[in-house]
Structure 1
Amino acid sequence: MIAIIIDEMRYETFCSCSCLYIFLFCTGSYVYILSLARNSHYESFLAVDDTSKSQFPAGSAEENSKMTLITQLRISMYESALSLNSYPNIYGAKYSGIIDRGAYTKPSDHLLCKFKKSVKVKTVLPKFEPFKVNGFGKLLKSENILQKQHFNSCAIVSSSGALLGSNMGQEIDSHDFVVRFNNAPTESYEQDVGTKTSLRIVNSQVVAHPVYEFLVSSMFENVSLLVWDPSNYTAALETWYNNPDIDFFNDFFEKRRTCPYQDMHLLHPRTLWRLWDFIQGHSPVNIHPNPPSSGFLGLLLMLEHCNIVKMYEYVPSTRVTSRCHYYDNIEEIGCTTGEWHPLAAEKLLALAMSIASDEEVFEKGFLKIKGFNKLDCKS
């Protein structure tokens, strides 16, 4: 048992010999202490995170639910940081920029302006090598995804199990543009997730693995598609083409041949790493050297093309569950906090960007984030 006195109040916590962090609640704010005696490249620090200042009544079930979720995300983020020395950096990711350790305390517009200036979604175009010379360039779209298109309201629908019982389907369908991910279905789940799909963001595993039936499933027809596969952090396109993370190019270009008029794009892998750079540059600790999730990629894309973006159950509401997806029975808390993607850091950053109320985020289940064109980033 460890006792800590802050502002004449006593806090007690159980901590094993391997426990290097202590999380505390103090006067309505979320106060955290991270002791990293075994990791000398970090400094111990004490900070207050504005994203956890509650609009709910003190001691209420709603406040407790919110604080429990933020605690869970924080713990996951710091545990991830502590394990970095033993974690393989298979993509060679190495951030060399300035890090804003207090980003979560900044106004949402400040974060969004930095986001806007830091990274843009780019797709692979016909003129890019090696596609220009190997003949595949003629199968690529000649314009960047959603070029010259803009929408008023956009919905990003996560695949979270927390969507079950949300009754958000009608609201989701009311948006001008709706983004879904991978093989997340709408059939049989219409009441909770809606029916409208404007774009699917699909990772290379879904493209290449036969179980997903990418070439024949109606789920991937009559809808815009953005396919991504991670490269090495510094790899040129030719290096990536010759050694993709997943062997997906044959299936990707086969669909381009058979569906030449479908709006289907290939993400430039450098976009993923510039997105990772932004997350790392605005995280209080170092994050795992793996690409960001499709959800955070979708957020960047929609912020470029929408006046307002709502993300449904990206940051889980009081319906949070260990169930990974609303459409299957797989249970793993890592689906929420992240075991491969830097999900915890992504979600805390997205929460800091949101202008939604606590009720909207933690009871109704959505973030609300202003599009880039609604910002005044001159100052």
Structure 2
Amino acid sequence: MGYERDVGTKTILRLVNSQLMASSEQHFLNSLLYTQGVLVAWDPAPYPGDLQEWYEAPDYPLFGPFRTVRSRRPWQLFHLLHPRLQWQLWELVQEGASEQVQRNPPSSGLLGTVLMMSLCDIVHVYEFLPSRRQTHQCHYYQTFSDDACTLGAYHPLLFEKELVRRMNQGSQEDLAQRGRVTLPGFRALNCTEDE
């Protein structure tokens, strides 16, 4: 404490999907991993994201664990993403695609990126667009490998990656060497037609 001026601060914002919350292997309610920072949960609700329909029949049972965390740790911020957000994002991905995109919700990676763009002026995303170090490994913390993790099976990953590539304001060298994409926050974007 006391060095924030020199080294900055850290804010934990953890995006969790309802499948993780419902999985007994993830120990969502008891794991220390989920007791720190701000939690934001999402569920792949049916298109177009009707709130009442989603509440009555979520894809995975997230409302029980949500209420449990809120009662156990009322001081911890825990938010639910409105289901319409994921489908508005899917429509944006579809709008920029050269072909019809299967109607599946976006990945947590793209949802998290958009969430950060709404909070920050500049967002750096690493290895969403793979660098030269690309592997078939799904996550850096697992040994599980599958091409679907990069190419997409359930989520429209190829189209998501193309959207992020078009928004990238960083250099091609930064992308190739470090897998780093630089994205403007929404406050910095000028979406008017007049330049």
Give me the TM-score of the superposition, normalised by structure 2: 0.90
Question: 1:238: Cα distance to partner?
Answer: 2.1
Give runs of ≥4 in structure 1 deviating > 6 Å. none
Contact 2:50 2:83 in 1 (8 A): no
The whole-number CA distance in structure 2 between the counterparts of 1:354 and 1:235 is 28
The whole-number CA distance in structure 1 between the counterparts of 2:116 and 2:144 is 29
Equivalent residue, structure 2, for 1:350: 164
Instruction: Provide the secondary structure at the position in 1 that maps to 2:14.
Output: strand
Equivalent residue, structure 1, for 2:3: none
Question: Using CA pairs below 8 Å that are at least 6 residues apart, which structure has the higher relative contact order?
Answer: 1
Equivalent residue, structure 2, for 1:222: 36
- Structure 2 unmatched ranges of 5 or more: 1-6
Is structure 2 residue 181 aligned with structure 1 residue 367? yes
Is structure 2 residue 190 aligned with structure 1 residue 376? yes
The whole-number CA distance in structure 1 between the counterparts of 2:56 and 2:73 is 24
Equivalent residue, structure 2, for 1:236: 50
* CA displacement, residues 97-155 of structure 1 (integer Å, 9 cap, x when unaligned): xxxxxxxxxxxxxxxxxxxxxxxxxxxxxxxxxxxxxxxxxxxxxxxxxxxxxxxxxxx
Alignment of 1:317-328 (within 5 A): 317-328=131-142
The whole-number CA distance in structure 2 between the counterparts of 1:324 and 1:197 is 25
The whole-number CA distance in structure 2 between the counterparts of 1:175 and 1:273 is 35
The whole-number CA distance in structure 2 between the counterparts of 1:236 and 1:352 is 30
The whole-number CA distance in structure 1 between the counterparts of 2:172 and 2:48 is 40
Equivalent residue, structure 2, for 1:267: 81
* CA displacement, residues 242-265 of structure 1 (integer Å, 9 cap, x when unaligned): 211012221121111111110110
The whole-number CA distance in structure 1 between the counterparts of 2:113 and 2:49 is 24
Contact 2:44 2:83 in 1 (8 A): yes
Equivalent residue, structure 2, for 1:201: 15
Question: 1:175: Cα distance to partner?
Answer: 7.7
Instruction: Provide the secondary structure at the position in 2 that maps to 1:254.
Output: helix
How has the CA–CA distance of structure 1 residues 235 and 323 changed in structure 2, closer, same or farther, with 3 Å as cutoff?
A: closer
The whole-number CA distance in structure 2 between the counterparts of 1:340 and 1:207 is 19
How has the CA–CA distance of structure 1 residues 247 and 376 changed in structure 2, closer, same or farther, with 3 Å as cutoff?
A: closer
Structure 2 letter corresponding to 1:341: H
- Structure 1 unmatched ranges of 5 or more: 1-173, 177-195
Greater percentage in strand: 1
Match of 1:336 among 143, 146, 150: 150
Percent same amino acid at aligned positions? 41
Question: 1:347: Cα distance to partner?
Answer: 0.5
Instruction: Provide the secondary structure at the position in 1 that maps to 2:102.
Output: coil
Equivalent residue, structure 2, for 1:298: 112
Alignment RMSD, CA only?
1.6
How has the CA–CA distance of structure 1 residues 336 and 197 changed in structure 2, closer, same or farther, with 3 Å as cutoff?
A: farther
Give me the TM-score of the superposition, normalised by structure 1: 0.48
How has the CA–CA distance of structure 1 residues 307 and 205 changed in structure 2, closer, same or farther, with 3 Å as cutoff?
A: same
Question: 1:208: Cα distance to partner?
Answer: 0.9
